[in-house]
Chains A and B, each alone.
Chain A
C-alpha cells in the first residue's frame, strides 16, 4: 500500500498522550491556584481563587495536585526505564527516535534560525525537533525545581530539620520565579508553536490524536519520513487521520486550554502591578 497524503503518520502512543493530557490539566490548575494566590490582593486573583473555594482551599488544591504531579513524574520515569533500549546502550540513547539531545540539534537550531532569516535551507528534521526536545526536558527540570521547592514548603517541619528556616524564604522565591518562567514559556512559546504558526494553525492536534498529517510531516520532518521510507518502516506507522466528532473534541479541548492559559497570563500580568512586592 502506498501511503497517501491524506493519511496520518503515527507519532504518540495512547500512554504518551495520557501523560500529556494529565500535564495539561494539572499545569492549568497549578497555574490558576498559584497565580491566584500570588495576586490574592487583587479582585482578579480572588476571583480565580474562588473557583477553587477561596484562598485557603486553593492552597490545599495546589498541594494536592502538586503531589499528584510528582507521583506521575515518578511513574513517567519508570515508564521511561521500560522504553530504554538497554541492549544497545549507550548507542540507542542517541538514536533518532530518542529525545536525548545531540550535537545535531544545536546545528539544526542555527540552521532553522538561518532559514527564518532567509539565509539557509530548511533543516532536515528527524522525528524530534530541537524545540520539542527542549520542551520535554524543560518539564523535567521544572518538575524537579518547582516540585522540590514545593515539597520543602509543603512539609516545612521536615525540611527545616535539615536546613535552617530561612531556607524556606529561598525555596519560596525559587519556586515562584521558576513557576513564572514555566507559565510564560507554556502560555506564550508552546502555545504559539502548537497553535499560531501557519502550519499548525489553528491547532496542531498530533498530541491529541496521536498522528500528524503525512504531507505536513514530509516537509517538516523530511529526514524522518525519508528514513522510514528507506528502512520500510513507513507502512507500519500509517494510520487514518481522525475526523468528525473526535477531531472537534480535540480541537475544543486544546483551544479551551489556550483560552484559559491566556486569561491567566494576561490577568496575572496586569495584577502583578497591584500587589505588594
Chain B
C-alpha cells in the first residue's frame, strides 16, 4: 500500500517533469503552424447568420485550404497530375462549368475580391456582410448557369435565397444581387431600366435645386436690404 501522501507527491513530480514541458513545447510549436487563412470579409461590422445550426461556426475563410492531403481527395475535385492547359480557358463556356474556376491559374489561396472586385460592392456583401460562399457555395464554385448549380435561375430562389428569405419566389430571385452602379455608362447597356430610372430621378432632383437654391438664397439676401416691416417702407416701396 502506498500512502496517499506519496501518491500526491508522485503526481506533482509527474506534472512538473513531463506534462509541463510537453505543454510548453506544444504551445511554442503550435505557433509555427499556419492556422490562419485570409479572411474574406475584412469588415468588422457584422456577419449575417455566421453561426449555422449544422456546422457551428460558418465557414469563415473563403480561400481553399492551403494544404491538401495527397491521398485524401474530394471526389471530382482532383483533376489529374497536370490539370491546366494553356488553351482550356478559351475552349470552355465559363458560365456552364461545374467548377467555374476550372483552368484558372493562381486561384488557390486568393480571396474572391482579388479577382471579382465588382461583385463585392452590393448590399448583401457591404451591409449584410454575407460571405460570397453563403450564396455561391463551397468548392467547386459552380457557374451560375450550370445545369446542376444551385445558383441556376430555375432553382436559385429555393436553394439560395430562401435560406435567408423564406418564401422567396423565382421572380423574387430575379433581383440583381450584384447591382451595377446606375451612374456608370455601362449600366445603360447592362441594366437600362435602372439607369433610366436613376437619371430621371437625378434630373428631377437637380432641376428642383437649380430652381430653388438660387431663388432662396437671393430671397434671403434681398430681405437683408429690406426696410423693417411696420416702418414707413414695406416690401413694396423700398426698392
Contact = CB atoms under 8 A, between A and B. Distances in A.
A276 B209 contact: no
A165 B174 CA distance: 4
A180 B222 CA distance: 28
B216 A192 contact: yes
B226 A174 contact: no
Interface in B77-126: 121, 126
B121 A277 contact: yes
A160 B218 contact: no
Closest 9 CB pairs of A and B: A165-B174, A122-B235, A165-B175, A177-B201, A198-B223, A181-B205, A116-B218, A219-B234, A160-B172
A115 B222 contact: yes
Interface in A114-139: 115-118, 121-122
Interface string B213-239: 101101111111010011000111001
Interface string B168-187: 11011111100101110000
Interface of A: 5, 37, 40-41, 46, 55, 112-113, 115-118, 121-122, 156-157, 160-161, 163-166, 168-170, 173-174, 177-178, 180-181, 184-185, 188-189, 192-193, 196-199, 215-216, 218-220, 222, 276-277
Given A169-B194, A177-B198, A199-B223, A189 B216 contact: yes
A199 B205 contact: no
A185 B229 contact: no
B161 to A, nearest CB: 9
Interface of B: 43, 45-46, 121, 126-127, 165, 167-169, 171-176, 179, 181-183, 191, 193-194, 197-198, 201-202, 204-205, 208-209, 212-213, 215-216, 218-224, 226, 229-230, 234-236, 239
A165 B172 contact: yes
Given A116-B219, A160-B174, A177-B205, 20 more contacts: A37-B127, A41-B43, A41-B126, A112-B219, A116-B218, A156-B165, A156-B175, A169-B191, A169-B194, A170-B193, A188-B213, A189-B213, A192-B220, A197-B223, A198-B223, A215-B230, A218-B229, A220-B229, A220-B235, A277-B181
Contact of B205 (A46, A157, A180, A198): A180
A147 to B, nearest CB: 15
A122 B172 contact: no
A212 to B, nearest CB: 12
Given A174-B197, A277-B121, A193 B224 contact: no
Contacts of B215: 113, 116
Given A156-B172, A198-B226, A219-B229, A185 B239 contact: no
Contacts of A215: 229-230
5 contacts: A55-B46, A122-B236, A163-B171, A164-B171, A216-B229
Given A55-B127, A219-B235, A161 B194 contact: no
Given A169-B191, A215-B230, A193 B219 contact: yes
A168 B161 CA distance: 15
Contacts of A181: 201, 204-205, 208
A163 B172 CA distance: 9
Given A177-B201, A180-B205, A198-B223, A166 B193 contact: yes
Given A157-B167, A193-B219, A178 B201 contact: yes
Given A40-B127, A197-B223, A174 B201 contact: yes
A121 B236 contact: yes
A220 B234 CA distance: 9
Contacts of A5: 230
